């Protein structure tokens, strides 16, 4: 069965129907009463796999109507066959047209974005323009283009919901508890990544394989390296400001090696509410896809009849300077969060594929940030162009 949209270099694409050989602009799926219809962008990644677990569990409430993947064509086809999905896209980094097509399917109720990078930004904006809800598991979209997303959301009947475990935890903690001036702090928990117990001397010789050994979570390679540098938590700080309309000074990070407490909110009366569950993305994904209902989960609950140690400590920003650089970018605002993200992508890619030393990742980012001379883009086209220019500048600074 042919069910893949192929994206050509000139960004044109053809849509093939799953039922015959004719080409259609779109094919409406029959609506099924009582089920929320889901488009999943990033179906073959780790978040995508967790999403499929949730949909399998709750097929009486959820229906998958569109999928996209950046690679693994055979896996994408297998998902389409299993769930009876006729709308499927295999995209490249420049594959936004196919993603936009899926994000605006008339039959879709919610679009879950689990891709990496800013390739899905146009799809997010298109979904909001079409009045769809967006379940966001992509940090870069809000970090680089948060001002565009928030503006689109204000005009939309749809809403952006957080699927990252930390932001989803904050979302849950705030439900029914938020009034003007009530929030004192958002406390983002961090596992600390593969190197949370290393010394600076030990970090000088770590390898890519070392960085990919995350102690708690199974994720894609780029985000796993971001966890090792704690750049990931820096991106989450920026994202939290966009999602919850708080000031940078109201966001703190705490290292929590067990990854049981997914994040916390401290209120003006100094009380703290935390969200806890086992370290699986299925909890956050199910919460949003089923929202506001709650149903039986996939994984078992925490067992408080057994001994459990929960440890919390402040992050060492001297050991993990990416966290400091992200906070500085957030405080500076404007073009700086986009620049932080763009430089980080280049540096991490160079570490993974070109032999850049691990400790040079933050050095490249800092050098780029010290030489930023662009303005915050007003459109998606300008944003993509500016991001490319910043990445080109970062590439020039790779001396190793």
Does 22 count as an annotated binding residue? Answer: no
Q: Is 312 left (phi over 0), alpha (psi -120 to 50) or beta?
A: beta
C-alpha to C-alpha distance for 258 and 396, rounded to whole angstroms: 39
Does 44 count as an annotated binding residue? Answer: yes
Does 140 count as an annotated binding residue? Answer: yes
Provide the pairing of β-strand 13-14 with 5-7: antiparallel
Query: 380-396 and 121-129 helices cross at what angle (nearest 10)?
Result: 170
Does 220 count as an annotated binding residue? Answer: yes
C-alpha to C-alpha distance for 141 and 147, rounded to whole angstroms: 10
Query: 139-154 and 121-129 helices cross at what angle (nearest 10)?
Result: 20
Does 387 count as an annotated binding residue? Answer: no
Q: Which long-range contacts (CB under 8 A, 24 or more apart) does 194-197 make?
A: 194/224, 194/227, 194/228, 195/228, 196/255, 196/257
Does 47 count as an annotated binding residue? Answer: yes
Does 164 count as an annotated binding residue? Answer: yes
Does 138 count as an annotated binding residue? Answer: yes
Does 104 count as an annotated binding residue? Answer: no
C-alpha to C-alpha distance for 382 and 142, rounded to whole angstroms: 16
Burial level of 115, CB count in 10 A (0-12/13-18/19+)?
A: buried
Does 271 count as an annotated binding residue? Answer: no
Does 233 count as an annotated binding residue? Answer: yes
Q: Which residues are annotated as a binding site?
A: 44-47, 70, 138-140, 164-166, 191, 214, 220, 232-233, 236
Q: Which residues are annotated as a binding site for Mn(2+)?
A: 164, 166, 236
Q: Which residues are annotated as a binding site for NADPH?
A: 44-47, 70, 138, 140, 220
Q: Which residues are annotated as a binding site for 1-deoxy-D-xylulose 5-phosphate?
A: 139, 165-166, 191, 214, 232-233, 236
């Amino acid at each position: 069965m042919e069910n893949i949209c192929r994206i050509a270099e000139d960004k044109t694409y053809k849509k093939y129907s799953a039922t015959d050989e004719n080409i259609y602009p779109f094919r409406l799926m029959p609506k099924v009463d009582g089920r929320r219809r889901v488009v999943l962008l990033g179906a073959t990644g780790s978040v995508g796999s967790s999403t499929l677990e949730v949909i399998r569990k709750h097929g009486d409430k959820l229906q998958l109507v569109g999928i996209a993947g950046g690679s693994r064509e055979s896996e994408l086809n297998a998902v389409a066959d299993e769930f009876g999905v006729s709308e499927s896209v295999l995209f490249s980094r420049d594959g936004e047209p196919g993603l936009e097509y899926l994000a605006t399917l008339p039959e879709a109720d919610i679009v879950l974005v689990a891709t990496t990078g800013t390739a899905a930004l146009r799809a997010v904006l298109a979904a909001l323009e079409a009045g769809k809800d967006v379940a966001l598991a992509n940090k870069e979209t809000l970090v680089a283009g948060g001002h565009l997303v928030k503006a689109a959301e204000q005009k939309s009947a749809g809403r952006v919901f957080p699927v990252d475990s930390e932001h989803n935890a904050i979302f849950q903690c705030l439900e029914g508890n938020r009034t003007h001036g009530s929030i004192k702090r958002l406390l983002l928990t961090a596992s600390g990544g593969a190197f949370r117990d290393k010394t600076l001397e030990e970090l000088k010789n770590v390898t890519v394989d070392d960085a990919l050994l995350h102690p708690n979570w199974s994720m894609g390679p780029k985000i796993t390296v971001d966890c090792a540098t704690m750049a990931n938590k820096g991106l989450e700080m920026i994202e939290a400001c966009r999602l919850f309309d708080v000031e940078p000074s109201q966001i703190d990070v705490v290292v929590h090696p067990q990854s049981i407490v997914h994040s916390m909110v401290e209120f003006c009366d100094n009380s703290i509410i935390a969200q806890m569950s086992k370290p699986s993305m299925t909890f956050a994904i199910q919460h949003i896809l089923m929202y506001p209902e709650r149903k039986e989960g996939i994984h078992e609950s925490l067992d408080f009849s057994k001994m459990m140690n929960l440890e919390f400590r402040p992050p060492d920003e001297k050991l993990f300077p990416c966290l400091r650089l992200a906070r500085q970018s957030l405080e500076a605002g404007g073009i700086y969060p986009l620049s932080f993200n763009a430089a980080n992508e280049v540096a991490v890619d160079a570490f993974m594929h070109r032999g850049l030393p691990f400790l040079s990742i933050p050095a490249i980012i800092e050098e780029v940030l010290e030489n930023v001379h662009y303005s915050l883009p007003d459109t998606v086209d300008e944003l993509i162009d500016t991001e490319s220019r910043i990445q080109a500048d970062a590439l020039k600074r790779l001396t190793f």
